[in-house]
Amino acid sequence: MTRYDLTVIGHLTLDVVSPPGGGLHRSMGGPPFYGGLTARRLGAKVAVVSRVASGEHQSMFTSVFREAGVSAFILGGEETTCFEIYYGGGGRKLRLASRAEDLLFGDVPVEALDSSTVLLSPVAGELSLEFVEAASRYCRKRGVLVAGDLQGFTRVFFEDGTVSFRQPEEEFFGFFDVVKGSEREVKAVAGCDSVREALAWIAGFGPKVVVATLGERGALLLSEGLLFRVYSLKPGKVVDPTGAGDAFIAAFLVGYAWLMSLEDCLKLASSAATCVVERKLPLGDVSGEYVIERSREVRVERSGCSLV
């Protein structure tokens, strides 16, 4: 039996966010924050590996995770990654204000890799292809499932901090068992306008499961020739959608580690993502049982996929 159900590796962030309802606030963020804390709320055993500025930031994040019961391996450095995130009529605008140093595979404690699943989820290119290859080889030798979120692997930042997309090396996809990306990301890496074609293209390199999140329209998942469509739960109130995708994939992977069906994994993921949009997660007062109960309201459709 492994020590953890899920380990999330990537930069934590301290972001400046202007949510859909207006205003401006400073917020902790990053995949280890949204994904790790959501998974823990569901009852999973969780570890996170990250890097922030030494001192106050390092102590602050460590304290938050400790109180939640998450094992936090937070390395110190010169900077903490910070995004300026603005929501408006044109969607989300993102600007990188500061960036922590890269994470190296040698930085990752062996204990953190004693996990059913390891999620590599960078936000600003902090995990190199060499890191991915080393992590994949280490984990697969030990029967650990390796998942990757495209966001930080596909982003490239200009000098002013604005973001564009780049396509990873094709060998990159073969290092993962599960790949998740936004609709825009999967289309960009596959170089096509169809989400289904993009999922099939990525799956052709070896991942068993490929997921594209579609925002308020839900998500599509392709696995072994079967296509699943999960529909989003309508949030009671849209407070801030930041981190919903991180919570989605973390909850999905928890269900997967617990041997739930793909349909139930998607339902759990959709419920968790909606709770983040409502800000009931990751630091709200809802229980894991609430998220699971609410997942029963989620609709999932399954069909064959002629593209595979």
Say what the pLDDT of residue 42 is. Answer: 98
| Cβ–Cβ under 8 Å, residues 64 and 115 | no
- Percent of the chain surpassing pLDDT 70: 98
Average pLDDT over residues 276-284: 95
Question: What ranges do the domains of the chain cover?
Answer: 4-304
| Cβ–Cβ under 8 Å, residues 130 and 102 | no
Mean pLDDT estimate for the chain: 95
- How confident is the model over 195-248, as pLDDT tens digits? 999 999 999 999 999 999 999 999 999 999 999 999 999 999 999 999 999 999
Which alpha helices (H) appear in 11-121, and where do they start and end?
31-41, 56-68
Say what the pLDDT of residue 306 is. Answer: 45
Tokens of 282: 């990751």
**Alpha-carbon dihedral of residues 148, 150, 154, 158, nearest 10 degrees?**
-100
| Cβ–Cβ under 8 Å, residues 176 and 146 | yes
Residues in the chain: 308
Average pLDDT over residues 131-141: 99
- How confident is the model over 119-130, as pLDDT tens digits? 999 999 999 999
- Rounded to a whole number of angstroms, the CA Rg of the chain reads 18
Say what the pLDDT of residue 203 is. Answer: 98
- How confident is the model over 169-178, as pLDDT tens digits? 989 999 999 9
- How confident is the model over 240-275, as pLDDT tens digits? 999 999 999 999 999 999 999 999 999 999 999 999
- How confident is the model over 6-46, as pLDDT tens digits? 999 999 999 999 988 888 889 999 999 999 999 999 999 99
- Percent of the chain surpassing pLDDT 90: 89
Residue partners of 259: CB distance under 8 A and separation at least 6: none
Cα–Cα dist 30/190, whole Å: 25
4-304 homologous superfamily: Ribokinase (3.40.1190.20)
pLDDT surpasses 90 at 305: no
